[in-house]
Amino acid sequence: MLAKLEIDIPMCQAHGRCYETAPDVLDADDNGVAVLKSDEPIDAERARAIAATCPEFAILVKEV
């Protein structure tokens, strides 16, 4: 199963846990806020694991 990630920008506190865990999927903007590198879906289990790294619940997983 595949899923897309979505970042809830106002919720992001720029901890960096997500993009340190998955630098192939996520990057940081100049303020340290998470940004997706691609709009392509990824493995849903991995998407959930990436989302779980965020203590702010700012990463949403949408199965496609």
Determine, following the binding rule CB under 6 A, whether residue 5 of this chain makes contact with ligand SF4.
Answer: no
The angle formed by the CA atoms of residues 8, 27 and 56, to the nearest 5 degrees, is: 35
Determine, following the binding rule CB under 6 A, whether residue 3 of this chain makes contact with ligand SF4.
Answer: no
Query: Which of 3, 5, 47, 58: binder of ligand SF4 (CB under 6 A)?
Result: 58
Determine, following the binding rule CB under 6 A, whether residue 60 of this chain makes contact with ligand SF4.
Answer: no
Query: Which of 5, 25, 42, 54: binder of ligand SF4 (CB under 6 A)?
Result: 54
Q: Cα separation of 16 and 26, whole Å?
A: 10
Q: Cα separation of 42 and 52, whole Å?
A: 15
Determine, following the binding rule CB under 6 A, whether residue 46 of this chain makes contact with ligand SF4.
Answer: no
